A and B are shown apart, each in its own frame.
Chain A
């Protein structure tokens, strides 16, 4: 089972938004099946990392390299990255009224099947899969008919992200502050869904401010992101240490009042 080939390799990444340097020399290596937690204070660049890896407009890579399965991720368009197996679960999923969740999910699944040279899935087969996914993330089936995330509560949006993950079966999932805005019950549902997807060939980057989520999703590695780079790495116990100490010990960090929320 042991596979030493890396799934994701980030080398000395520098990236900016609106000419402001946010990522300043970040390196990270993730092997298939591993769960990496990235923690850090607000403004450390946690969300930016997800946007840069997914290729969002306006996020510029200045230098460094990123490979996914050995392929140059940064040379790909956003949709190509998704088809190559990258999935970003948003902190704030976008509402799209008028586009039904079902239509959206099927378009996404079809696009990825097409990229693999497979035929489109039939509507009937897809509906079956989508209903099963709904059930698994504890969303009523009626949510398939509603506009994408339209009027969903915070928890429902996160579960909808999870449902997309179940259907798209990505190789690398980036969970961007998936715990934000969730109560403990919703958090458990999402964590169980994530755990059910853990496998030897699927890796996760769990971005979070708090240790709480990591009680439910046990990471193999924990990294502390500060000032745009990883300043400390360790195993799951590092998260507990951070919980006890906060982020104040980090060098050149913002004042304590900025660390909340």
Chain B
């Protein structure tokens, strides 16, 4: 076990609050866990040295940080600053049918519900998920009542100042037939460490639109997860946009816990310098008639490294499942690296499944076509690379977010070296 984890456990043992039973459970599991090494499958290509070496500390000083403004987006701001929920940034009046509250402030009935729901969607195999269970500073509970359609997105921002360590946790629960958009966002200054986990329970016929932006770069360590439980006829549409940092790791779990659920996941990563980004996406088809469409695209430049592990597990009773997983990568330099592993595990006999992973260079025909119009080779390469990612941005249902992130990605391409 690493010193870092030992110290984390020691700190967690000192916390005594409403989550105590769950924290104790996580600590038990952590005590019996191995610190991941190169031989640990889930961490094989993502060394934990940046965690072992981190000097980041939980800071207690009051810091005033605000999330980056997104033009044309009027969101309900749920802001964590260095791990602490900042209620002053939350609107005084929330739309009818939504409640946002700290777990410790809930009345006893609601707190019991929250406690029972805590860490039931996020699988226990995620080591840093357990760390987050044990160390989460403020836990925020979001609920949307049955049948309510919330037009205003909720934006969960985790903001970190220089050298900060934070552990943020949110539980989102959509009542039957409810509709909600949630944006997850980390903005971190250097030498920081962050674990940020969100669990979503999407009740029957509810519809969740989800975004996760992991655009932090440089000397930041971010390990997080978004975990979804889909009930009968529930729908989710998720878009993930990531750059890389010293260590940026994201685990997503989509669980088809009801029949006829529909999940769409579009993820894109653009890595430069010596950045690392690791996406582990797992889909559990536990029930019949579900559909999953997963499109993951990455561009890796310079000496950056990307890891993608996409697993779709179709249980024995999940007949009539339709699942597709596609991972496409472009490598921009000889030293760039991508480790991709799509996995299909199928135990039902009447399903439609497809998966594929490619690592390629730019389409030569398209390059030639652009050149015949006078566009230089280097400009054409940037256009084609951008187009490769832009296809997925075009699929974002929220136009304000698409228009916000598009120029950010364009800017990143302008900085990436071609060859």
Contacts and interface: CB of A to CB of B under 8 A. Distances in A.
Interface of A: 54-57, 77-79, 81-83, 87-88, 90, 93-94, 96-99, 103-104, 107-108, 111-112, 115, 147, 164, 168
B: interface residue count bin: 20 to 34
B387 A111 contact: no
Given A78-B368, A94-B368, A99-B387, 10 more contacts: A57-B368, A79-B376, A79-B377, A81-B372, A90-B369, A96-B370, A98-B387, A99-B383, A108-B373, A111-B373
Interface stretch (B41-49, B145-153, B388-396): B388-396
A107 B383 contact: yes
Contact of A108 (B365, B374, B391): B374
Contacts of A103: 383
Nearest to A115: B374
Contacts of A93: 369
B371 interface: yes
B127 to A, nearest CB: 37
Contact of A107 (B366, B379, B391, B394): B379
B360 interface: no
B74 to A, nearest CB: 25
A75 to B, nearest CB: 16
Interface in B377-419: 377, 379, 383-384, 386-391, 394
Nearest to B390: A98
A104 B377 contact: no
A67 to B, nearest CB: 19
B368 A99 contact: no
A83 B374 contact: yes
Closest 8 CB pairs of A and B: A98-B387, A82-B374, A99-B387, A108-B373, A98-B391, A78-B371, A94-B369, A98-B390
B387 A96 contact: yes
Nearest to A145: B394
A83 B376 CA distance: 10
Contacts of A112: 374
A77 B387 contact: no
A90 B372 CA distance: 10
Given A99-B387, A104-B383, A56 B368 contact: yes
B384 A96 contact: yes
Interface string B341-380: 0000000000000000000000111101111111111010
A99 B390 contact: yes
B387 A82 contact: no
A82 B369 contact: no
B387 A97 contact: yes
A94 B376 contact: no
11 contacts: A56-B368, A79-B371, A79-B374, A96-B363, A96-B366, A96-B384, A99-B387, A107-B375, A107-B383, A108-B374, A111-B374
A99 B391 CA distance: 8
Nearest to A78: B371
Given A94-B365, A94-B366, A96-B366, A164 B387 contact: no
Contacts of A97: 387, 391
Most buried by A among B369, B390, B394: B369
Contacts of A55: 371
Nearest to A103: B383
A115 B375 CA distance: 10
B22 to A, nearest CB: 44
Nearest to B374: A82
Contacts of B389: 98
Given A57-B364, A90-B369, A93-B369, A98 B388 contact: yes
